[in-house]
């Protein structure tokens, strides 16, 4: 037997033994092994393995896993965690911002904290789902469009078109005010296109939280003929977040008001509190073509107030303001400003007030000695009145006139019995600093003042510093005939004294934890916002002798600090600790305004270790730089 034959027989014998007995070790094969004759508990190595499902298919397990199989797994992890399984074309987490073509809800939906099973339809006119309504003139028709192009109104009445658009922005127009919970959108716009909108003997009622604007005061013109007003607030018992801008509003009625805004706290729904109305007006022309009275009339009832922002306003006639607080007016061009009743902590700047009426500014004050105070006038020109530039009465206090011009002494009296500024009884702490009084009329006008300033009996503690008094080069008539100042109490008047003493106080108690700011002069409630209590310092000089007093001592181990704060820096620290009530810092610092518009100044208080709540009183001295006065004159 050959050696080859013996090896083959030996291999065949081993193969028969393997088939008969099973294998517990390694088997390596390069040919197909019939699985019917192989039993192994070891490792099988083969190029392919066919279990009856084709080479390398290998199933069944407890289920098939073909692409066409329906499989079941306990969890699936694609890298996002068990069963998270995104992405699709967008994430669907609770924090995701998702977009769908349509959404159908069969139960309830919550929008803005309101959960409802039904919502008013767009066609109902009781709610708005779009943030802008646009009104246009198209031929002889007046059309109001929703933002998606839906026509809200299309007919020949300009009044109905505008009022329909305004009504559509609120949940229940003409009824009680609707608050946030009744609105789909927090703020809605009504845009009025260019053209002439004659609403006749009607007035437009503006709801809350609406931006009502045109295309410019020479482009969008709304005209009415109702004496009460052309535009007014919809609800008299609440005013909140209204902005009217970029249009001309005219009234052709006699004794007319153009824009009227009144508010009170009476009749508010249960649980609602009056927090002060807010009205903003910008780039408006408010005029009457008949024998009108008021271009703007804003009034709140006793106990309430309205906060107003007015910028770039042209108006014929008088701007009447009653019970407005913390308001800002800039770029006014009006005939007269009348502050009636409690108007406090308001600022008027960069404006022209004049037009041949009796006064440029008149304030009647109030019977409450704390109600009308702290109004600031900077860079305002008072021009061409027939009686006086300024007439302050009642309990007007803490008014400041800084860098203003008083010009054109156009009085219609032959005996010169009129005065430039009249301060009535019970007016106190009125300050005129760095103003210019000038006679701009030619000599043939023959008009002079009796006095520039006239203090009636009962007024005191007023300050007149750094003002200039002159006639122009075309006139040989003196500015005044009798004198600059008439006073019945010269001991309290501070006229052209280089030292000025200012005083102020907080009308509400300082809290125990927060840094708060007070106005440098006058009587105000403290605020944690310096911008609400700061005043522009427009003249360089020295601040000295900060004196502070608290009605209640801080308490053991506690303290309060007070500073003069200027341009973001703290000076003249007064530290009152434990059982102390008052303190003084007798040092002086020089404050440089550096810019013509001035820099912000306030009185800052800091509580340490939660001192007892207390009222706060303070005074300080101001010494103007003599060179500053020379520059102003």
The yes-or-no verdict on residue 384 having pLDDT over 60 is yes
CA distance 185 to 147: 13
Task: Dump pLDDT digits (tens) for 393-406.
Answer: 878 888 999 999 98
pLDDT the model gives residue 257: 92
Distance CA 122, CA 146 (A): 9
Written out in words, the top-level CATH class of the domain with range 500-632 is mainly beta
pLDDT at 132 (0 to 100): 82
At 6 the three-state DSSP class reads helix
Burial level of 214, CB count in 10 A (0-12/13-18/19+)?
A: buried
pLDDT for 412 equals: 45
Confidence (pLDDT) at 89? 81
Residue 288: its pLDDT value, please?
86
Mean local confidence (pLDDT), 328-344: 91
pLDDT band at 148 (very low <50, low <70, confident <90, very high): confident
What average pLDDT does range 169-178 have in this prediction?
Answer: 53
pLDDT at 60: 62
Q: Regarding beta strands 231-233 and 204-206, do their DSSP bridges make them parallel or antiparallel, or are they unpaired?
A: parallel
Give the residue-averaged pLDDT of 162-173. Answer: 76
Question: What is the tens place of the pLDDT at every residue in 460-470?
Answer: 888 888 887 76
* Burial class, 606, CB count within 10 angstroms (exposed 0-12 / middle 13-18 / buried 19+): middle
Least confident residue range of 192-201, 260-269, 561-570: 260-269
More confident residue, 252 or 112: 252
The pLDDT, as a whole number, for residue 415 is: 47
Query: What tens digit of pLDDT does each residue of 316-328 get?
Result: 889 999 888 889 9
Which position has the higher pLDDT, 480 or 396?
396
Q: What is the mean pLDDT of residues 24-49?
A: 58
pLDDT value of residue 595: 58
Q: 119-142, pLDDT tens digit by residue?
A: 444 443 344 444 688 999 999 999
pLDDT grade, residue 273 (50/70/90)?
A: very low
The residue that leads in pLDDT, 130 or 149, is: 149
Query: Given a cut of 50, is residue 292 above it in pLDDT?
Result: yes
Q: Tell which residue, 337, 200, 218, has the closest CA to residue 285.
A: 218
- Report the sign of the C-alpha dihedral through residues 524, 525, 528, 532, in that order: negative
**What gap in Å lies between CA 543 and CA 520, rounded to an integer?**
11
| Of residues 370, 386, 423, 419, the one with CA closest to residue 401 | 423
Q: What is the pLDDT of residue 560?
A: 95
Rounded CA separation 280/307 (Å): 9
Determine the Cα–Cα distance for residues 354 and 108; give it in Å rounded to an integer.
60
Asked if pLDDT for residue 411 goes beyond 90, the answer is: no
**Highest mean pLDDT (candidates 402-411, 555-564, 579-588):** 555-564
pTM: 0.60
pLDDT tens across 202-245, in order? 999 998 778 999 999 989 999 999 988 999 988 766 667 789 99
pLDDT of the residue at 563? 95
Assess whether pLDDT exceeds 60 at residue 4. Answer: no
Terminal Cα-to-Cα distance of the chain (whole angstroms)? 140
The average pLDDT across 441-457 equals 66
Residue 108: per-residue pLDDT = 66
- Domain residue ranges in the chain: 3-46, 125-334, 351-374+390-497, 500-632
The answer, yes or no, to whether residue 13 has pLDDT greater than 90, is no
Q: Which residues pair with 447 in a beta bridge?
A: none
Greater confidence (362 vs 67) lies with: 362
Give the pLDDT confidence score for residue 270 in this predicted structure: 47
Q: What is the mean pLDDT of the chain?
A: 77
% of the chain with per-residue pLDDT over 90: 30
Average pLDDT over residues 513-519: 92
Q: How is 22-68 classified by DSSP, letter by letter?
A: -BSS-EEESS---GGG--BSS-EEES--BSSSSBTT---SSS--STT
Is 599 within 8 Å of 567 (Cβ atoms)?
yes
**Positive/negative CA dihedral, 180, 185, 186, 188:** negative
Q: In Å, what is the CA distance from 566 to each residue of 115, 376, 465?
A: 50, 18, 21
Pick the most confident of 23-32, 49-58, 92-101, 182-191. Answer: 92-101
Q: In this model, does residue 296 exceed pLDDT 70? A: yes
The DSSP letter of residue 136 is E
What residues contact 165, with CB distance under 8 A and at least 6 apart? 133, 135, 144, 152, 153, 190
pLDDT of residue 184: 35
Could you give the angle at the alpha carbon of 207 between the alpha carbons of 202 and 210, nearest 5°? 115
Question: At 162, is the pLDDT very low, low, confident or very high (cuts 50, 70, 90)?
Answer: very high
Q: In whole angstroms, what is the distance from residue 277 CA to residue 216 CA?
A: 25
Encode pLDDT of 571-625 as tens digits. Answer: 999 999 999 999 999 888 888 776 555 678 899 999 999 999 999 988 888 776 6
CA 382 vs. chain centroid, Å, equals 28
């Amino acid at each position: 037997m050959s050696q080859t034959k013996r090896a083959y027989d030996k291999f065949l014998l081993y193969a028969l033994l393997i088939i008969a007995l099973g294998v517990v070790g390694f088997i390596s094969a390069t040919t197909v092994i019939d699985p019917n004759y192989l039993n192994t508990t070891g490792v099988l190595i083969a190029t392919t393995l066919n279990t009856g499902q084709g080479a390398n298919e290998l199933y069944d397990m407890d289920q098939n896993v073909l692409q066409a199989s329906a499989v079941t797994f306990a969890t699936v992890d694609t890298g996002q965690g068990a069963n998270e399984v995104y992405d699709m074309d967008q994430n669907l987490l609770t924090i995701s911002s998702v977009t769908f073509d349509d959404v159908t809800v069969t139960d309830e939906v919550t929008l803005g904290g309101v959960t409802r099973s039904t919502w008013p339809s767009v066609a109902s006119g009781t709610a708005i789902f779009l943030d802008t309504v646009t009104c246009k003139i198209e031929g002889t028709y007046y059309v109001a469009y929703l933002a998606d192009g839906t026509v809200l109104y299309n007919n020949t009445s300009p009044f109905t078109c505008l009022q329909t658009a305004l009504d559509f922005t609120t949940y229940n127009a003409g009824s009680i005010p609707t608050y946030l919970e009744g609105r789909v959108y927090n703020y809605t716009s009504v845009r009025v296109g260019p053209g002439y909108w004659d609403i006749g003997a009607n007035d437009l009622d503006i709801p809350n939280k609406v931006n009502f604007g045109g295309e410019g005061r020479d482009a969008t013109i709304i005209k009415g003929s109702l004496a009460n007003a052309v535009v007014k607030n919809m609800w008299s018992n609440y005013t909140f977040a209204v902005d009217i801008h970029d249009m001309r509003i005219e009234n052709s009625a006699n004794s007319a008001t153009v824009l009227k805004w009144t508010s009170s706290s009476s009749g508010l729904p249960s649980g609602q509190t009056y927090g002060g109305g807010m009205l903003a007006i910008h780039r408006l022309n408010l005029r009457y073509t008949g024998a009108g009275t008021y271009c703007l009339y804003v009034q709140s009832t006793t106990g309430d107030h309205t906060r107003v922002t007015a910028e770039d306003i042209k108006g014929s006639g008088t701007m009447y303001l009653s019970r407005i607080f913390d308001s800002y007016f800039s770029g006014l061009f009006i005939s007269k400003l009348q502050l009636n009743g409690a108007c406090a902590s308001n600022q008027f700047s960069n404006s022209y007030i004049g037009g041949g009426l009796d006064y440029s500014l008149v304030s009647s004050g109030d019977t409450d000695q704390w109600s009308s105070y702290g109004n600031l006038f900077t860079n305002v020109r008072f021009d061409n009145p027939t009686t006086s530039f300024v007439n302050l009465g009642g309990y007007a206090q803490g008014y400041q006139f800084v860098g203003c011009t008083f010009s054109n002494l156009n009085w219609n009296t032959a005996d010169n019995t009129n005065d430039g500024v009249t301060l009535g009884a019970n007016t106190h702490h009125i300050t005129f600093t760095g103003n210019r009084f000038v006679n701009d009329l030619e000599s043939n006008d023959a008009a002079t003042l009796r006095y520039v300033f006239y203090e009636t009996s009962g007024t005191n503690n007023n300050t007149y510093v750094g003002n200039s008094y002159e006639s122009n080069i075309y006139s040989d008539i003196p500015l005044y005939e009798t004198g600059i100042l008439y006073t019945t109490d010269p001991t309290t008047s501070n006229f052209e004294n280089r030292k000025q003493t200012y005083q102020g106080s907080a009308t509400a108690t300082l809290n125990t934890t927060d840094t708060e700011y007070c106005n440098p002069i006058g009587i105000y409630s403290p605020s944690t916002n310096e911008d609400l209590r700061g005043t522009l310092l427009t003249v360089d000089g020295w601040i000295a002798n900060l004196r502070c007093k608290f009605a209640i001592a801080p308490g053991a181990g506690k303290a309060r600090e007070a500073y003069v704060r200027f341009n973001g820096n703290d000076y003249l620290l007064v530290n009152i600790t434990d059982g102390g009530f008052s303190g003084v810092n007798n040092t002086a610092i020089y404050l440089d305004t550096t810019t013509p518009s001035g820099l912000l100044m306030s009185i800052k208080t800091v509580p340490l270790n939660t001192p007892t709540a207390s009222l706060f009183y303070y005074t300080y001295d101001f010494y103007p730089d003599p060179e500053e006065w020379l520059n102003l004159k």
